[in-house]
């Protein structure tokens, strides 16, 4: 079942974009993430897999400090983005989130027009000097989000009126519009049907040209299809991290093997 042509995927050696060192996350009393060390490469799709509650989403949210919005969440250890610790007090989490964009599980377009949804980030960060530049950014982002052709005639229509798959691509386009360096995706296809999923997966593969993409997924097929690197989380531990082909065909850890063959999870 997993003998998809993943092994033959060429994986060029890339620069490390994000590296996590001894990351611990606590939710109040509970220790959600234990000693995670991982290097995420630039222009690569990295998949986080693992059973529910294993901490993969929590760890993903650490990468752009979205956990800051949760009062009881405490993060220890270092996460370096281009060699700079993002938990350093002098780092502004708001600026960081502009560099490390995020796409969520459920499509969450704002109750605004399609145009305003995309223009939201650029306007906040002052990326466009005038209307023409903004128009250009919106068009470019929608094209990169592979949704331009479907919405170009109705940019003034509300974003909430689109179908689920279109909404998720709109949200990806919205994240791209702020020109992030890393794109985090938290189960981006779990609320979508198979056709929309295929479209989003295709899009993720294209995004790899420009960004480092980290995707959390419950679907092992999806991880195998879209990622070059895979990390397997179990009970808050990073069990195994390596080339996707290797993880799926020849896992080193028995727990990984049990999970991908369906015995735990």
Partner 1 sequence: MPTFWLVVFVFALAALGFLAGRARALHSAGGNARDLHSLPNYYGANVLLTTLVPALLVLGLWLMIQPSVVQYRVSGMIPEQAIPENSTLGLVMMDVHQVAAGLDLAVDEGALTEQEAGTIRTEFTDLRARLGELGVALGSDVRPEVLQAAQRYRAIDASGHRNMVIVVTLLALAGLGFSWQHTNKDFRARNVVEQGIYALLVLAALLAILTTIGIVLSMFFESISFFKLHSWTDFFFGGTWAPNFRGDSELSILPLLWGTLYISFIALLVAVPVGLFAAVYLSEYANGHVRAFAKPLLEILAGIPTIVYGLFALLTVGPALVSVFGNGPEGLLGVDWMSGATSVLTAGLVMGIMLIPFVSSLSDDIINAVPQTMRDGSLGLGATKSETVRQVVLPAALPGIVGAILLAASRAIGETMIVVMGAGAIAKFSLNPLESMTTITTRIVSQLTGDTDFASAETLVAFALGITLFVLTLGLNVLALYIVRKYREQYE
Identify any residues that bridge with 214 across adjacent strands, giving them in sequence order.
Answer: 46, 184
Give the DSSP per-residue string, 49-101.
Answer: E-STTSSHHHHHHHTTTGGGGSTTEEEEEEEEETTEETTSTTS-HHHHHHHEE
- Collect all residues with Cβ–Cβ distance below 8 Å to 112 and sequence separation of at least 6: 120, 158, 159
User: Binding pattern to partner 1, positions 128-167, x when CB under 8 A?
Assistant: --------------------------------x-------
Residue 24, interface with partner 1 (CB under 8 A)? Answer: no
Q: Say how many Å lie between the first and final Cα of the chain, rounded.
A: 17
Residue 106, interface with partner 1 (CB under 8 A)? Answer: yes
Size of the site for partner 1 (CB under 8 A): 28
Residue 251, interface with partner 1 (CB under 8 A)? Answer: no
- Contact range with partner 1 by CB under 8 A, out of 62-70, 208-216, 239-247, 249-257: 62-70
Residue 11, interface with partner 1 (CB under 8 A)? Answer: no
Selected binder of partner 1 within 26, 87, 104, 148 (CB under 8 A): 104
Q: What is the rounded distance in angstroms from the CA atom of residue 251 to the CA atom of residue 204?
A: 25
Selected binder of partner 1 within 49, 62, 134, 171 (CB under 8 A): 171
Residue 54: CB minimum distance to partner 1, A: 21
- Contact range with partner 1 by CB under 8 A, out of 16-24, 47-55, 65-73, 132-140: 65-73
Q: What is the rounded distance in angstroms from the CA atom of residue 21 to the CA atom of residue 39?
A: 9
Q: Counting Cβ atoms within 10 Å, is residue 146 exposed (0-12), middle (13-18) or buried (19+)?
A: middle
Are 243 and 14 spatial neighbours (Cβ–Cβ below 8 Å)? no
Q: Which is nearer to partner 1, 45 or 119 (CB)?
A: 119
Selected binder of partner 1 within 44, 64, 212, 256 (CB under 8 A): 64
Residue 190, interface with partner 1 (CB under 8 A)? Answer: no
How many other β-carbons are positioned within 10 Å of the β-carbon of residue 23?
A: 21
Among candidates 85, 40, 54, which has minimal Cα distance to 255? 54
Contacting positions for partner 1 (CB under 8 A): 64, 66, 69, 71, 94-99, 101-102, 104, 106, 108-112, 120-121, 124-125, 160, 171, 174-175, 178
């Amino acid at each position: 079942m997993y003998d998809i042509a993943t092994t033959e995927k060429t994986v060029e050696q890339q620069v490390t974009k994000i590296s996590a060192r001894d990351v611990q996350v606590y939710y109040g009393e509970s220790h959600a993430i234990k000693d995670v060390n991982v290097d995420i490469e630039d222009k690569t799709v990295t998949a986080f897999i693992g059973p529910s509650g294993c901490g993969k989403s929590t760890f993903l949210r650490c990468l752009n400090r979205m956990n800051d919005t949760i009062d009881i969440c405490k993060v220890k250890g270092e996460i370096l983005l281009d060699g700079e610790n993002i938990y350093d007090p002098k780092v502004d989490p708001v600026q960081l989130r502009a560099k490390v964009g995020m796409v969520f599980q459920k499509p969450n377009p704002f109750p605004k027009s399609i145009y305003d949804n995309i223009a939201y980030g650029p306007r906040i960060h002052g990326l466009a000097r005038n209307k023409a530049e903004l128009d250009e950014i919106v068009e470019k982002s929608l094209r990169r989000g592979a949704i331009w052709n479907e919405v170009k005639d109705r940019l003034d229509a509300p974003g909430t009126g689109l179908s689920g798959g279109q909404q998720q691509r709109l949200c990806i386009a919205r994240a791209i519009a702020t020109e992030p360096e890393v794109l985090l995706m938290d189960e981006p296809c779990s609320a979508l049907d198979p056709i929309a999923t295929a479209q989003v997966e295709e899009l993720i593969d294209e995004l790899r040209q420009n960004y480092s993409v980290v995707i959390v997924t419950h679907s092992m097929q999806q991880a195998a299809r879209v990622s070059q690197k895979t990390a397997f989380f179990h009970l808050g531990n990073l069990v195994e991290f390596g080339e996707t082909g290797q993880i799926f065909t020849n896992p080193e850890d028995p727990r990984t093997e049990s999970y991908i063959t369906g015995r735990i999870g």
